[in-house]
Amino acid sequence: MALLITDECVNCDVCEPECPNQAIYEGAEHYEIDPKRCTECVGHFDRPQCVQVCPVDCIPKDPAHPESEAQLQRKYHWLTEEDSGS
């Protein structure tokens, strides 16, 4: 499942640089997560890095984008191939 930044976000800027998939970006109201790029850090880390650093605990799983561990792993491989230009 991709993650989601809720409107409780205080725009502290700590999550965006921690994302290994460049899935986090500054939105109109607060930071947002692109579900096409979010792998919950599968393939990179044991736990989502944005969740680890968020001081207000506003990054839950996004129920609108359910994905299994296997799907997140496939997305990770697709993203790393895309980013490397292969």
pLDDT above 80 (res 83): no
Q: Would you say residue 10 lies in a domain?
A: no
Q: Would you say residue 11 lies in a domain?
A: no
Q: Would you say residue 75 lies in a domain?
A: yes
Q: How would residue 82 be classed by pLDDT, with cut points 50, 70 and 90?
A: confident
Q: Show the tokens assigned to 10.
A: 């205080």
* Domain span holding position 25: 16-84
The pLDDT, as a whole number, for residue 1 is 85
The pLDDT, as a whole number, for residue 40 is 97
Give the CATH number of the domain where residue 56 resides: 3.30.70.20
Q: Give per-residue pLDDT as tens, 19-65.
A: 999 999 999 999 999 999 999 999 999 999 999 999 999 999 999 99
